[in-house]
Structure 1
Amino acid sequence: MKLEPIDMAALLDIHDILMTWNTDESSVLQKLCDKLLASLHAPLIWGGLINQDHKLTVFGAAGNEADRIKGLVLDCSDTLANHPAIKDCIDTLTPASLPGGLIELNSRLFENLSPDVRTLQTDLYPLTLENRCMGVLAVATGNRQNSKHHSLLQLAAQHAGFALGMLRNFVAKEHAQSSLKLAAAVFDHSLEGIFITDTTGSILAANDAASRITGYKPEELIGQNPRIFKSGRHGQDFYQALWHSVHRHKQWEGEIWNKRKNGEIFPEWLSISAILDEHTQLQNYICIFIDISKQKEAEARLNYLAYHDKLTGLPNRDLFHDRLNASILRAKRNQTDIAVLFIDIDHFKYINDTFGHAKGDLLLQKVANKLKSCLRENDTLARMGGDEFTVILEDFAFQTDVEITAGRILKAFSQPVYLDNSELYVSVSIGISFFPEDANNPSMLMKHADTAMYSAKNNGRKCLHFFHSTMENYSIQRIEMERQLRHALDNHEFRLFYQPQFNLETGAIDGAEALIRWQHPQKGLIAPDEFIPMAEDTGMIVPIGEWVLKQAWAECQNWHRAGHALRVGVNLSAHQFNHAQLTDLASMVLSDTIIDASFLELELTESLVMRQAEDTLTALNALKKSGIRLAIDDFGTGYSSLSYLKQFPIDRLKIDRSFVGDLANNPNDAAIVVAIIAMAHCMGLEVIAEGVETEEQLKFLRMHDCNQVQGYLTGKPLPANEFLALLSAKPEPAIGEVHRS
C-alpha cells in the first residue's frame, strides 16, 4: 500500500497521536478527526464507536457542522437492515461508500444538518481490532469520486482501531485490579464472617469477622473443615438437605446453630455458594455468616411480651388459652380431669380508687406472688386482665385435692399484704369448674368457672364456689340485668327518693339526701345496692350520676318555690369524681337557677377524698368556688390524714351508721362518735349522724351536740311528691314524730 509523501507525514503524526498516552476514547477520536481534517481539508470528518447494543455513538467530529453531529447515536441494527454497503463495511471490515451522503441512511438524526453537508459523498472506514469492527471513521470527501487519500484513511482507521483496543484492554485490566482490591477490602473489613474453601471443604481463607465470631484465630482456621463448628443440635438429615441444595442449586441459605471455640452454642445466619470456573466446573465454596444471637434474644423477648403480662410476668390471656387447649387434649388422651380456677380480688376497685393506680399495680404483683406460692411448678397461673387471675390444675387424684389448693389460696390471703408502709388486708373470691364434668371445651370451662366466681362474690366474697348447673340461670340473669340497666336511663326508669335530715337544735327538717331507686318494669323497685356496683363496673354510673344531680337540683328548686328553703345532698361515686367534666357539669347544673348554689351539697366518701390528696384538694377547691357545699360521707370507716383534712374545703362530716347502730351498748362506738363530733366542731364543721333508728341513739347525739341526724327514726326515704307533701304538712313534723313505717 503506497502512500504519497504528504500522506506518509500525516500517518506518522497520526501514529504519534494514537500512541500518546490517553485514557479517554472520545479524546482519541477527536484528535484523530482534527488531524485528518488538517491534512485532507475534507468538509467533514467524524468517528464513532459501536457498543454491545449495536448503537454507534459519534465521539469525535471536525469540519462543517461538527458540533451538530457530535454526540449523535445511530442504531446500527436499523441501518444495517436498510443499507447493504454499511453492513458489508462492518461485517467484512472493508471500506464502504455512501455516494448520496448521510441522506441515504434515512435517519432523522441527520435532519438538523444542512442539505449541503447531508448530501456530500461519505466514505466509511471500519475501526478494527482482532477481526471485529469497533466503530467507524467517516469522511465527507466533497466530490463524487473516491478520495485520493484512500490508503491513508484505511491505515489511519486500522491504527485507530488498534490504539482504541489497547486502551480498552488497559482500562479493563485497571478495572479488574480495582475490583480485586475492592473485593479484598470488603473481605477484610466486612462485618460478616467469610471463609473460602476448596472443593474438599478445607478452609483456604478467613476474614477477621469470621475469627471474631467463631473465636478461632485466622491461622487456626486455615486448613480446617467447617465441621469444627458443628453444635450437635442438627441431625444428619439437616446437613444432607443443606448439601443437596448446594449441589443442585449452587447455594443454600438459612439459620443454623454452630459452636464457638470456647464451646458456646450460638445461632447464625449462613449462606453457602458454589463458585464455578469458566468451564462451569466447581472451583471453591464461599461461606458468609452473621451472628444472630442478639436478634434471637430480641425475638424471644418479643415473644415473651406477646404471651406474658407485663406487670406480673405471668402468662397472659392468649398463652393461658393455648395451655388450656393443650391441657384438654392431654386430658382427653389420658382420660383424666383438669380444673380451672377463676380468681378475683374482692373490692379491688375500691382499693385502686383509695390508694391510686401505682399502689394498685403493686398490689397486683403481691397477689400474683401469693398465688404462685400456693401452687405447684407445673400448674399454670395467668393474669387475664384487671384483677382477674386464672389457674389450670392437672394431675390430681380427687376433686377434694383441688378444693385443698383453693383453700390454701384463701388462707394465704388471711395474712396482710404490705404496700410500702401500709398494711392491707385483701381477700379473693374463687370459682372452680372441672373438665369434663362441667364442660368439654375451653370457652365453656372458662365461662362456668367465671360464673362460679360471681356466685362466690354474691355470697359474701372471700370464699370458693364449685360450678353447678343452677348457676347458669344466675349468670344469664346478670347479663340480662346489665342489658336492661343500659336502657333504664333512656326509658326513664330511675326514681329519686329523699330522706329528711333534721336539725337537732330547731327540731325541723333543714335538708334531705337524694337516694336513687330503679323502678324495674318486671321486678318493681330495686335498691341501689343491687345495681350501683354493676353501674360502676359498666361505666353507666357517670350518666346515671349526671341524671341524679340534675334531677335532685331541680327538685330542690321546687321545694324553694313552695316556700321550703332546704338543701339537697347528692352522693358522688369515685367514677364521677374522677370524671374530667365534673366541674363543668356542676356549673351547667347551677346555671339559670333561682336559688343559691349553697343549697346543693355533694357527698364524697372519706377514702375517695383522701386518695391522691393533692389532686383532690384542687378538685374540691374548684367545686367549692362555685358555692357548692361539700360533705364527707361514711366518716370514720376510711383512712384520714388530719393534716390534709384541715386543708379541704369541707362543710360537714357524716358519721357512718356502723358507729351509730350500737351507740347505746358499745363504749368504743360511743367514744368514736364523741371524738368525731368534738373534732369537727373544733375545725368549724357541722356533723350529721346517719342510721338513727332509736330514741336512745337520738338522745345520745343530742347530748353531745351533734348538729343533724337522719334515719328511719326521723324519716324514711320518700318519693319526691310525698316528701314535698311532708314539708307542706301543718305544723311541720318535729323530731320524734316521724317514725319508721
Structure 2
Amino acid sequence: MPILSYLDFLQAANHILLEPQRVPGHSAMLLVEFERLPELDGVLGYRVVDDLVSQAARTIRQALNPADIIGAIGRHQIACLLANLLTDEHARLAAYKIQRTLAQPVSMNGHRINLFCRIGIAVRNPCNHCTDQLMRTANLALHGARAEHESIKLLIEQSKDSQPVGIDLLSDLEEAIETGEIFMVYQPKFDIASGRITSTESLLRWTHPQQGAIRPDKLIQLVESTPLMTKLTLWIMNTALRQCAEYRRAGLDAGVSINFSAEDLRDPELTELVMQSLALWQIPAEVVTIELTETAVMENDAHALQVLERFKEIGLKLSMDDFGTGYSSMARLLQVPLDEIKIDMLFVKNMLNSRMHERIVDTMINLGHQLGLRVVAEGVEDEATFARLQELGCDTVQSYLIGRGMLLPELIQLARNQTALPTTIEKRVSSSG
C-alpha cells in the first residue's frame, strides 16, 4: 500500500476501524515525529527535507505488515495504523522496529544524515471507533514522550466515561499496597526431564472493591512513568522472595520467577535493591529467574543491557517471555545474556491442530537449544500436547494442566502432597527417564 496523504489516511483508517465484519481487537495508532528537521530546512532546503521524510516513510512502510496503513500527516510527522495486533504490547514492539530501521544514516545530496524520531502510541479501546480520538490520544502520547525525554510513549485510549478511572485506580493502588489488598499467586513450572516442579512464576493479582479483578497488564500500564512504579516493583520482588523462602522451608525445593518491565530496568538502583532483597530473605540468587517482556529484551538501551549483565554476575537467571510473538531481532537476542525462552501459548495451544504451529514450536525449541537456552512451553492444556512437547525435547512446561496460579497455602499443600500432576503424566515422565 502506498504512503497516503493526510485526508486519504484518515478515510482509510476510518474504513478499517468501522468494518462491520471486523472483530473488536487490538489496533493502534503510531505518530512518528522527526527531530532536528526544522534545522535542516535552513541547511538543505525544504524540498530536500521533504524528500528525506518521504524516504523515511517508505522505510517505515517496509518495516510494517501489509495490512497496516501509513500516511504523511505533516512535514515532520508520519502516522501508522496497525490493524491486526496480537496484543497491545505489540504496538510498542512495532515502534522499536521502526526506530531500528531508521537508525542507519541516510545519504541525501552528498550529506549523511541521522534521523532521530519520537513515537507516540495510542492503543484503541475496542468500544471506540473514532479515528480522530485515536489520533488525539497518540498525539498526547507523543507530547508525553517529549516531556519525559523518552523515545517511545504508549497510552491506552479511554472512553469519555472511563477517563477519570485511571486517576482513581492509581490512588486506590497506592492504598492497596499499604493495606495488603494486592497479593501474589504462583504457577508451577514443571521440568519434564526430572519429573518435578523446579520453579514457580510469581503473578500479581488485585481484586478492586468496586471494579473487581484488575488485569495485571492494565495495572502495570497504570503505574508506568509514575513514582509508584518503583514502590510496586519493590513490593512484588520482596513478596515473591519472602514467599519463595516459605514454600522452600515447607519442602518444595523450587525457585521463583519475577517479572520486570523495560521501565524497571531503567531504575539506576535496581541492582542494589535486588541484592538487598536476596540477602534479606536469604534466597540463593541461582534459584531466582528474572522474566522480561520481549519489549524489555529488544529495547536498544545500553543501560538496560548493563543491568542484565550485572544480574548475571550476581547469579540470577534471565528469561524472555512470550517468545515468537513480536518483532525480535536475532542480533539483539544474541547480545542479551538469556538463560531461557518461553514459547507463547498462542503457538502451543494450536500445535496439535495446525502443522504450521507445530513446526514453529519445534523450530523454537531447536533454536533455543542451539543457543544454549532452556525452553519453556506455556498454554499446555491437555496430555496429548504435553506428550508431543516431550517428544520435541521441550525442557519445561508451565500451564493449567500442571497447575493454575495458586495462593501460597495451596502451593505449600502441593509441596506436602508432592504431586499435582495427572497420573498419566507421572507415568510418562517415569517411563521416559
Instruction: Work out whether the TM-score is over 0.5.
Output: yes
- CA gap of 1:669–1:593, structure 2 versus 1, over 3 A, is same
**Residue 457 of structure 1: which of 109, 117, 125 is its match?**
125
2:380 to 668, 692, 697: 692
Q: What is residue 421 of structure 1 aligned with on the other side?
A: 101
- CA distance in 2: counterparts of 1:348 and 1:487, whole angstroms: 34
Secondary structure (helix, strand or coil) at the match of 2:224 reads helix
1:656 has 2:344 as partner:
yes
Structure 2 CA distance for partners of 1:581 and 1:412, relative to 1, 3 Å: closer
Alignment counterpart, residue 632 of structure 1, candidates 294, 302, 320: 320
1:410-448 deviation per Cα after TM superposition (whole angstroms, max 9, x unaligned): 87999x99657369xx9975xxxxxxxxxxxxxxxxxxx
Q: Which amino acid aligns with 1:370?
A: A
Aligned to 1:584: 272
Deviations 1:575-596 (A, max 9, x none): 1111111111111111144342
Change (3 A) 1:420 1:502: closer
Q: Cα–Cα, structure 1 residues 494 and 644, in superposed 2: closer, same or farther, change >3 Å?
A: same
Sequence identity of aligned pairs in percent? Answer: 29
Per-residue CA distance 1:62-116 (angstroms, 9 max, x = gap): xxxxxxxxxxxxxxxxxxxxxxxxxxxxxxxxxxxxxxxxxxxxxxxxxxxxxxx
Q: Does 1:372 align with 2:74?
A: yes
Higher relative contact order (CA 8 A, sep 6+): 2
Candidates 214, 233, 236, aligned match of 1:548: 236
What do residues 362-414 of structure 1 show as CA deviations (whole Å, max 9, x unaligned)?
99x979972238xxxxxxx9x9xxxxx9xxxxxxxxxxxxxxxxxxx887999
Q: Secondary structure at the match of 2:419?
A: coil
Q: 1:569 to 1:637 in 2, by over 3 A?
A: same
Shift of 1:735: 4.9
Q: Distance in 2 between matches of 1:683 and 1:412?
A: 32
Note the alpha carbon deviations across 1:521-578, whole angstroms, 9 max, x for none. Answer: 3344433134222122545332111110111011111122112210100110111111
Query: Using the alignment, how far apart are the partners of 1:420 and 1:652 within structure 2?
Result: 24
Report the alpha carbon displacement of residue 668 of structure 1 after superposing the two structures with TM: 2.3
Summarize the Cα distance change of 1:542–1:734 in structure 2 as closer, same or farther, 3 Å threshold.
same
Structure 2 unpaired stretches of 5+: 1-26, 37-51, 61-69, 85-93, 104-118, 137-157, 426-433
Q: What corresponds to 2:116 in structure 1? A: none
**Contact 2:28 2:83 survives alignment (8 Å):** no
- Cα contact 1:346–1:462 (8 A) shared by 2: no
Match for residue 165 of structure 2 among 446, 458, 477: 477
| Aligned-partner SS, 2:263 | helix
Determine the structure 1 residue equivalent to 2:297: 609
CA contact (8 A) 1:498 1:513 kept: yes
User: C-alpha distance in 1, partners of 2:74/2:83?
Assistant: 12
Say if 1:669 and 1:457 are closer, same or farther in 2 by CA, change over 3 A.
same
1:714 aligns with one of 398, 402, 421: 402
CA distance, structure 1, for counterparts of residue 301 and residue 161 of structure 2: 43
2:101 partner letter = N
Q: How far apart, in 2, do the equivalents of 1:595 and 1:614 lie?
A: 28
Counterparts of 2:234 and 2:275 in 1: how far apart (Å)? 12
1:288-339 deviations in Å (ceiling 9; x for gaps): xxxxxxxxxxxxxxxxxxxxxxxxxxxxxxxxxxxxxxxxxxxxxxxxxxxx
Query: How far apart, in 1, do the equivalents of 2:159 and 2:130 lie?
Result: 18
Tell me if structure 2 keeps the 8 A contact 1:680–1:686.
yes
Distance 1:719 1:548 in 2: 14
TM-score, normalised via structure 2 length = 0.64
| SS across alignment from 1:496 | strand
Q: Counterpart of 2:178?
A: 490
Separation in structure 2 between the aligned mates of residue 616 and residue 706 of structure 1, nearest angstrom: 29
Kept in 2: contact 1:629–1:651 (CA 8 A): yes
Contact 2:340/2:373 (<8 A) preserved: yes
Partner of 2:421: 734
| Separation in 1, partners of 2:282, 2:367 | 35
Give, in whole Å, the separation in 1 of the partners of 2:347 and 2:395. Answer: 16
Cα distance change of structure 1 residues 699 and 522 upon mapping to structure 2, 3 Å threshold: same
**Structure 1 residue 672 corresponds to structure 2 residue 374:** no
What does residue 143 of structure 2 align with? Answer: none
Distance in 2 of aligned mates of 1:703 and 1:460: 46
1:280 counterpart residue number: none
| Residue 208 of structure 2 corresponds to residue 520 of structure 1 | yes
Match of 2:286 among 598, 602, 607: 598
Gaps of 5+ in 1: 1-344, 374-380, 384-388, 390-408, 430-453
Distance of aligned partners of 1:505 and 1:735 in 2 relative to their CA distance in 1, 3 Å threshold? farther
Q: In 2 relative to 1, CA 541–419 (structure 1 residues): closer, same or farther, beyond 3 Å?
A: closer
Task: Please identify the structure whose Cα radius of gyration is greater.
Answer: 1
| Compared CA separation, residues 420 and 598, structure 1 to 2 (3 A) | closer
